[in-house]
Amino acid sequence: MNKAEVFLTEEQELQRKFGETRLPQIQLKARVLEELGTTKKVSPAKANSLRSRRLLAAISMVLSIVALISLLSIFPASAEQLRKIPVIGKVFEGNIFDFAGDSGIVIGQKSGLSSGVNEEANDQGVTIKLQDVLYDGARLSIGYEIVSEQAENLIFLENVRVSVNGVFRPDARPSAQPHLLDAKHAAGIMTIDLDEPEKEDRFELELLIGGVSGMNEGNQTKVSGEWGFKMNVENRIADSEYTSLADGYSASWEGDRFQLTGYLATPVTTKVDFLYSGNTDWLGFQLKDDRGMLIEMLDIAFTVGKNGTVEGTVRFVPLTPGTTRVEVTPYNLLVGKKDTEKKVTAKLTTDYPIVLSQGEVGEIVVQNVEFRQNKTLIHYEVKGKNPYSQYASLWLETPDGQRFISDNGKRTRVSDTSYEYILEYPALDASQPYFLGTMPQTDLELQEELVVSVAVRE
């Protein structure tokens, strides 16, 4: 079987990854086509394995593009118009894990589970800086910055080679969550997955980065070079034990089958291993705790066997403390089946709640907007099938359609028993008229006949 990277990134993450790059949609499509084209250059001896891996990775990118198109359609079409949008709120305050990390990474750092790195390398006028590293046995995350003297909009790390304890690891699968801060500065989190996670309390990690790339004025920008790093990685959650599950944790329906084979729950990540036979089109999974609350999915990677059976791993943010049982449900993202691509707006009044439909997937309910002296707060609740995709699609705009764009870090969840958030803007003039806006989100079909439940060991 061929290991395939299929990191399904939810729509709010796509906004965080690419929204700040101000790239027209066609440029990102071209990047996908380029990735697909590289499969034709593989030597015959390696063609089958690499073609499968790259094709599935490219398919995942296509999914990202489909979701991204729906997000970028909320912005004006041209780059010139985008430059005129008033961007408000701080985008980066120096701590990459706090700025770009998911809730698990942020919790891990605040709990003292990360290690400072503070290394940098320079080549070809580009400096790459590493800030923090966090490893919990389920994933290895590294905060990084790219600072460029000349080339603009460099955001992607290319040709990353990984060695552990001096041994090259061809199974390593780096992925990243990049954010373009300005034309010469990007920051993000690189995640490295290994087929066999390191069990040691400490190991030596070596990274060799062979290039950085981005888009500038409609053309791909790429700088080739060598940026090398070597660091000691400490597993501060080494006592978290993986739990293997017997064959009984499975469900079948009309020839489809879903089985949980094991899990690892740490203060940073919830990792679930599975076997699956069924519809793999835009496959994802929902994890729900014993209160009926969904746990946010991070990514999924899987292997497709010759018989069509999928073997893989899906990761989520950490479970809420005190969780005793969880249930996992497969789903298929219904890409391309939106009601409309048009934005949904409503005039901001004091007649609350103000409900904004996001299509079949659900809605956003604005409960209040506070115009304070030093900031503006939007209190809202997300209702629907996919709240962690829905919650990031809410904004304020002026009557002529100019959006105020707020950093995702200013969206704060305020309840663990509902999907309620506060979106923070800098102070706005309460006497001016505003409109609330959202977009229809991609719907999903839950495979409710294949729900599997498991008790969580404390």
Report residue 370 as tokens: 């506070």
Q: Compute, in degrees rounded to 10, the torsion defined by CA atoms 192, 193, 196, 200.
A: 40
Question: Do residues 295 and 382 share a domain?
Answer: no
Question: Do residues 120 and 230 share a domain?
Answer: yes
Among the candidates 234, 268, 287, a domain finishes at: 234
**What DSSP element (H or E) covers 63?**
helix 47-72
Question: Do residues 190 and 212 share a domain?
Answer: yes
Burial of residue 159, with CB atoms counted within 10 A of its CB: 0-12 exposed, 13-18 middle, 19 or more buried = middle
Asked if the structure places residue 18 within a domain, the reply is no
> If pLDDT is split at 50, 70 and 90, which confidence band does 317 have?
very high
| CB distance 317 to 431 below 8 Å | no
How does pLDDT run across 119-147, given as a tens digit for each residue? 999 999 999 999 999 999 889 999 999 99
pLDDT exceeds 90 at position 436:
yes
Task: Check which CATH number belongs to the domain holding 183 and give it.
Answer: 2.60.40.1630
Among the candidates 234, 257, 288, a domain finishes at: 234
How does pLDDT run across 331-365, given as a tens digit for each residue? 999 987 655 568 999 999 999 999 999 999 999 99
| CB distance 397 to 372 below 8 Å | no
Asked if the structure places residue 5 within a domain, the reply is no
Q: What is the largest CA-CA distance in the chain?
A: 69
Among the candidates 216, 234, 252, a domain finishes at: 234
Q: What are the residues whose beta carbons fall under 8 Å from the beta carbon of 167, sequence distance 6 or more?
A: none
pLDDT exceeds 90 at position 5:
no
169 to each of 205, 277, 362, how far by Cα in Å? 10, 30, 43
- pLDDT top residue among 1 and 153: 153
Question: Do residues 351 and 436 share a domain?
Answer: yes
pLDDT for the residue numbered 287: 98
Asked if the structure places residue 41 within a domain, the reply is no
Percentage with pLDDT > 90 across the chain: 54
DSSP type of residue 45 = G
Asked if the structure places residue 51 within a domain, the reply is no
pLDDT for the residue numbered 62: 35
Residue ranges with strand state E in 111-255: 115-123, 126-135, 140-148, 154-164, 167-168, 173-182, 185-193, 202-216, 219-234, 243-244, 250-253
Question: Do residues 256 and 271 share a domain?
Answer: yes
Indicate the range of 198-207, 284-293, 351-360 predicted with least confidence.
Answer: 198-207
CA atoms lying within 13 Å on the CB side of residue 11: 28
pLDDT for the residue numbered 92: 57
Average pLDDT, the chain: 79
Question: Do residues 308 and 451 share a domain?
Answer: yes
- pLDDT top residue among 274 and 215: 274
pLDDT for the residue numbered 284: 95
Q: Which residue has the tokens 């404390």?
A: 458
Asked if the structure places residue 381 within a domain, the reply is yes
Tally of helices (H runs) and strands (E runs) in the chain: 7, 30
Q: Work out the angle at residue 15's Cα, subtended by the Cα atoms of residues 12 and 17, and round it to the nearest 5 degrees.
A: 110
The domain of 195 spans 93-234
Task: Check which CATH number belongs to the domain holding 293 and give it.
Answer: 2.60.40.1640
Q: Compute, in degrees rounded to 10, the torsion defined by CA atoms 413, 296, 182, 69.
A: -110
pLDDT for the residue numbered 410: 77
How does pLDDT run across 9-68, given as a tens digit for each residue? 333 333 333 333 332 222 232 233 333 333 223 333 333 443 343 334 333 333 333 333
Distance CA 404, CA 425 (A): 8
> If pLDDT is split at 50, 70 and 90, which confidence band does 212 have?
very high
Question: Do residues 176 and 280 share a domain?
Answer: no
Instruction: Kindly report the number of other CB atoms within 10 A of residue 146's CB atom.
Output: 26
pLDDT exceeds 90 at position 194:
no
Residue ranges with strand state E in 334-387: 344-347, 354-357, 362-371, 375-384
Q: What is the pTM of this model?
A: 0.76
Mean pLDDT throughout 196-207?
84
pLDDT exceeds 70 at position 73:
no
pLDDT for the residue numbered 296: 94
Question: Do residues 197 and 252 share a domain?
Answer: no
Mean pLDDT throughout 222-243?
89
Q: What are the residues facing 223 on neighbouring strands?
A: 212
Question: Do residues 310 and 365 share a domain?
Answer: no
pLDDT exceeds 90 at position 100:
no
Asked if the structure places residue 31 within a domain, the reply is no
pLDDT exceeds 70 at position 262:
yes
Question: Do residues 223 and 104 share a domain?
Answer: yes
Asked if the structure places residue 147 within a domain, the reply is yes
> If pLDDT is split at 50, 70 and 90, which confidence band does 406 have?
low
Question: Do residues 324 and 352 share a domain?
Answer: no
Mean pLDDT throughout 97-115?
87
> If pLDDT is split at 50, 70 and 90, which confidence band does 193 have?
confident
Residue 47 dihedral angles phi and psi, to the nearest 5°: -60, -45
Maximum mean pLDDT: which of 13-22, 84-93, 166-175, 204-213 = 204-213
**What DSSP element (H or E) covers 84?**
helix 79-84
Question: Do residues 220 and 260 share a domain?
Answer: no
Q: What are the residues whose beta carbons fall under 8 Å from the beta carbon of 367, sequence distance 6 or more?
A: 352, 353, 379, 380, 381, 420
- pLDDT top residue among 116 and 352: 352
Give the chain's domain count. 3
